[in-house]
Structure 1
Amino acid sequence: MKILVLGSGAREHAIITSLLSERAGHEITAAPGNAGIAADVPTVALDANDPEVVAGYALDHDIELVVIGPEAPLVAGVADAVRTRGIPTFGPGQQAAQLEGSKAFAKRIMDAAGVPTGRAVQATSLLEAEQALDAFGAPYVVKADGLAAGKGVLVTHDREAAVAHASRWLTQGGVLVEEFLEGKEVSLFFLSDGHTVLPLTPAQDYKRLGDGDTGPNTGGMGAYSPLPWLAEDAVDEITATVAEPTVRQLAEEQTPFIGLLYCGLIVTPKGIRVIEFNARFGDPETQVVLPRLATPLSALLFAAATGALAGVPRPEFRADAAVTLVLASEGYPEAPVTGRPLTGLDAAAAVEGAHVLHAATGADAASGALIATGGRVLSVVALGDSFGEARSRAYEAMGRIGLEGGQYRTDIAARV
């Protein structure tokens, strides 16, 4: 199959790695990709957020499946433009992508569908935000209503910090003030063709920058899968109470959700609650979910894109434990230092059971050497018969990589 994968992160590298592992002769192109992806498949420098550019490229090159990785192209309507040309597309249309693009839209859909979630107040002024903060009390939870690259959520006991966060994001739209939910977090992905949903396997990510869940929120600093502590019937419960009602509600509103529904959940003393929805594969959870997938990924993506999930068996997963560690640049997330050389990647990939997925990497214009070009630079992924083995391999591999000022957490999956 001729497949176009849009995106340039470790998530897209994980998707491409999974597709290549099928050894099915797929012709895969990535746009725009990164240095690591370019070493595996051809890349093309097109604007992945431009609907007409992407649709034109897919038509001109006889693409049979377009897989949209990041959220920005979805919110920009890229899936609509490609799908209307008759090309199977894995990714929701612009309206359905508002599940991620607007926290207020997501809350409305959850309310209409009867999906269990926390209480929230949409604020369009600082006064409304402060009133909601005082009504809910500490810990305070403030979320930017729109896309914020994983940096729009603040959870804090500091009221002044909460007010400042609300003030910042109010200049770019509304904010949501939510009640604080306490418990263990779960990320669960669902494939959807607009009507049928199929669950993948649960994972847990680490959003705080530092060990012990300290420091600022990030796009994610690591993850692991499966979740031994999660109840055996939890996936079925989430399917029935969260994914199916949400997809059904969107279908009733004539905005079918076709693609990957990311459910960010928390297991509270009162039951499972939704923290957030995303409209695409999560990063870094994808890096630990896809290496455990035994069912061919291409068949699942194509079935979702063509409305054929009802005839597809539930995806199967290997028993291996998977751990991923994210290497970030100095100064991340506020002001990452870029342009520094990366070393030791071949040595890291030589560790048994480990591999490296690139995110913000590129080639130095003068020397051609590999350099870091952004905040989250790469993911080290390792599999093992146990979490102890997977963690050991992951940290051994990470220890072989050199990046001046590079930072990563040392406690990923330590408590499993």
Structure 2
Amino acid sequence: MKILVVGGGGREHALVWKLAQSPRRPEILCAPGNPGTAEWGRNVPVGAEDVEGLLALAERERVDLTVVGPEAPLLAGLADRFREAGLRIFGPSRAAAEIEGSKGYAKALMTRVGIPTARYAAFDSYEEALRYLRSRGAPVVVKADGLAAGKGVVVARTVEEAEAALRSMMVDGVFGESGRRVVLEEMLEGREATVMAFVSGETVVPMVPAQDHKPVFDGNRGPNTGGMGTYSPVPWIDEDTMTRVESKILRPVARALVEDGRPFYGVLYAGLMLTAEGPKVIEFNARFGDPEAQVVLPRLETDLLDVLEAVLDGTLDRIEVRWSPQAAVCVILTAAGYPGSYRKGDSITGLDEDGSLQRGDQNEALIFHAGTARADDGSLVTAGGRVLGVTGLGNSLADARRAAYATVGHIRFQGMHHRTDIAAQAADLA
């Protein structure tokens, strides 16, 4: 069997790594891939948003299944194009992916069907948004309506901060067309968590929960990023909470998408705030989270390939999806300057020669490449803002955290930055 994984970041490395473990021993291609994916499959230099190029690649290579990692190709209609050509692809249609592509659409859908979420208002006009903001005051959450690589959310504690965010998005165009429309939300109080689910129409199978850390600095300070680290399990999500998330959020949204004529086939990501009133939705995404995939996929015991095919075949309700009791903690190593402009081309040292797996202090740690490249001499260099994800595994969050940071201590590149508090609070509570 031949599989094509679309994308070239840490999530895609995790997907390739997990698919390579299938007893069916698939041949794996990754487009465009990175040095990490190259250790488990064959990289092909086709961009993740090159819809026609990916289609031509899949047809030329006679690919049996394509798995889409990032959100942008889904919103460019990649899944629709493949299905029109009679090719199997794991990922929602463009219409279904609008649950991520437009925060306004997602909020309207949630309001219509009673899914718990923050009160909001959406605006195309900067002046109208400004008037609303000044009438309501702060704190407030300002969100770019479209895709912004996880950076289009500003939690403003003051009206002045919110006004600056509105101006940046709607007037200065820092996120391009994605920020021309904005959503203003009440700020929810509580603990954040992520619950992803395999979704096949109205059939929903939740994954184990995870917790991401968005701000760039320790103590959740500084600007938001695409994710500085994550961990699983989440101590404050018990079985009752998971039951509530499934019954009040995941199943209703899957059913609503079917009723809207946008049936969802893929991974649905629910970003949650666990409030005093119960879990409420911060956002939906239409794919595996990154870096959440780097802690959730290592805990999956069922063959991932079997699960993906069950989603597409409509047999998801007949498969048992099993999870390891192990804990996983992922620490993201970033380039100097991230999430702003950042350096590239710095030499990375401290990894094994293949750059894909490291052993640290009696514990296992997985290395997932996100923004790396091979220099002309074959050495490993930085090539993105988020460079590497180091995932430690252990019998507890504390053990997994020690394994991750022990390995981080062996890795070096110029200007390397990482948070030192990933999973610290959770490890103390577990």
TM-score band, normalised by shorter chain: over 0.9
In structure 1, how many angstroms separate the alpha carbons of the residues matched to 2:109 and 2:238?
26
Return the offset for 1:197. 1.1
In structure 1, how many angstroms separate the alpha carbons of the residues matched to 2:240 and 2:16?
31
Q: 1:204 — aligned with what?
A: 211
Establish whether residue 395 from structure 1 lines up as the match of residue 402 from structure 2. Answer: no
Asked if structure 2 preserves the Cα contact closer than 8 Å seen for 1:129 and 1:163, the reply is no
**Which residue, 241, 248, 259 being the options, matches 2:255?**
248
Asked if structure 1 preserves the Cα contact closer than 8 Å seen for 2:7 and 2:47, the reply is no
Establish whether residue 362 from structure 1 lines up as the match of residue 362 from structure 2. Answer: no
Return the offset for 1:135. 4.2
For residues 331-375 of structure 1, the C-alpha deviation after alignment (integer angstroms, 9 at most, x for no partner) is 00011111111111129712231110001100123x221110110
Asked if structure 2 preserves the Cα contact closer than 8 Å seen for 1:88 and 1:302, the reply is no
Q: 1:412 — aligned with what?
A: 422
Asked if structure 2 preserves the Cα contact closer than 8 Å seen for 1:50 and 1:76, the reply is no
The residue type equivalent to 1:158 in the other structure is: T
Asked if structure 1 preserves the Cα contact closer than 8 Å seen for 2:28 and 2:40, the reply is no
The residue type equivalent to 1:321 in the other structure is: A
In structure 1, how many angstroms separate the alpha carbons of the residues matched to 2:241 and 2:84?
37
Q: 1:319 — aligned with what?
A: 325
Return the offset for 1:188. 0.5
Q: 1:195 — aligned with what?
A: 202
Return the offset for 1:323. 0.3
Q: 2:156 — aligned with what?
A: 156
For residues 15-72 of structure 1, the C-alpha deviation after alignment (integer angstroms, 9 at most, x for no partner) is 1111112343111110000111112210101132132222222122221111000001
For residues 132-160 of structure 1, the C-alpha deviation after alignment (integer angstroms, 9 at most, x for no partner) is 32344322210000000111000121322
Q: 1:343 — aligned with what?
A: 349
Runs of 5+ consecutive residues of structure 1 not aligned to the other structure: none
Establish whether residue 59 from structure 1 lines up as the match of residue 59 from structure 2. Answer: yes
SS of 2:96 mapped into structure 1: coil
SS of 1:353 mapped into structure 2: strand
**Which residue, 183, 208, 212 being the options, matches 2:190?**
183
The residue type equivalent to 2:386 in the other structure is: R
SS of 2:322 mapped into structure 1: coil
Within 5 Å, give how 1:278-357 maps onto structure 2: 278-313=285-320, 315-346=321-352, 349-351=358-360, 352-357=363-368
Within 5 Å, give how 1:213-228 maps onto structure 2: 213-228=220-235
Runs of 5+ consecutive residues of structure 2 not aligned to the other structure: none
Asked if structure 1 preserves the Cα contact closer than 8 Å seen for 2:228 and 2:331, the reply is yes
The residue type equivalent to 1:61 in the other structure is: E
Aligned residues: 414
Establish whether residue 22 from structure 1 lines up as the match of residue 22 from structure 2. Answer: yes
Question: Bigger CA drift: 128-137 or 352-361?
Answer: 128-137
Establish whether residue 376 from structure 1 lines up as the match of residue 386 from structure 2. Answer: yes
In structure 1, how many angstroms separate the alpha carbons of the residues matched to 2:236 and 2:379?
43
For residues 176-210 of structure 1, the C-alpha deviation after alignment (integer angstroms, 9 at most, x for no partner) is 11000010011001111122111110000100100
Q: 2:270 — aligned with what?
A: 263
Return the offset for 1:257. 0.9
For residues 249-281 of structure 1, the C-alpha deviation after alignment (integer angstroms, 9 at most, x for no partner) is 111121111101000001001111000000000
In structure 2, how many angstroms separate the alpha carbons of the residues matched to 1:249 and 1:262?
15
Question: Bigger CA drift: 319-328 or 339-348?
Answer: 339-348
In structure 2, how many angstroms separate the alpha carbons of the residues matched to 1:187 and 1:136?
29
The residue type equivalent to 2:51 in the other structure is: P
SS of 2:94 mapped into structure 1: coil
Alpha-carbon spacing, 1:297–1:307, altered in 2? closer, same or farther (3 Å): same
In structure 1, how many angstroms separate the alpha carbons of the residues matched to 2:239 and 2:134?
38
SS of 2:95 mapped into structure 1: coil
Question: Bigger CA drift: 250-259 or 343-352?
Answer: 343-352
In structure 2, how many angstroms separate the alpha carbons of the residues matched to 1:148 and 1:41?
29
Q: TM-score, structure 1 length as denominator?
A: 0.97
Asked if structure 2 preserves the Cα contact closer than 8 Å seen for 1:74 and 1:94, the reply is yes
Return the offset for 1:233. 1.7
Asked if structure 2 preserves the Cα contact closer than 8 Å seen for 1:3 and 1:28, the reply is yes
In structure 1, how many angstroms separate the alpha carbons of the residues matched to 2:276 and 2:202?
31
Return the offset for 1:384. 0.3
Q: 2:48 — aligned with what?
A: 48
Q: 1:38 — aligned with what?
A: 38
Asked if structure 2 preserves the Cα contact closer than 8 Å seen for 1:362 and 1:373, the reply is yes
In structure 2, how many angstroms separate the alpha carbons of the residues matched to 1:240 and 1:270?
15
In structure 2, how many angstroms separate the alpha carbons of the residues matched to 1:135 and 1:203?
36
The residue type equivalent to 2:382 in the other structure is: A
Q: TM-score, structure 2 length as denominator?
A: 0.94
Asked if structure 2 preserves the Cα contact closer than 8 Å seen for 1:355 and 1:381, the reply is yes
Return the offset for 1:387. 1.4
Asked if structure 1 preserves the Cα contact closer than 8 Å seen for 2:358 and 2:367, the reply is yes
SS of 1:233 mapped into structure 2: helix
- Where in structure 1 do 4 or more consecutive aligned residues deviate above 3 Å? none
Q: 1:116 — aligned with what?
A: 116
SS of 2:36 mapped into structure 1: helix
Q: 1:234 — aligned with what?
A: 241
SS of 1:74 mapped into structure 2: helix
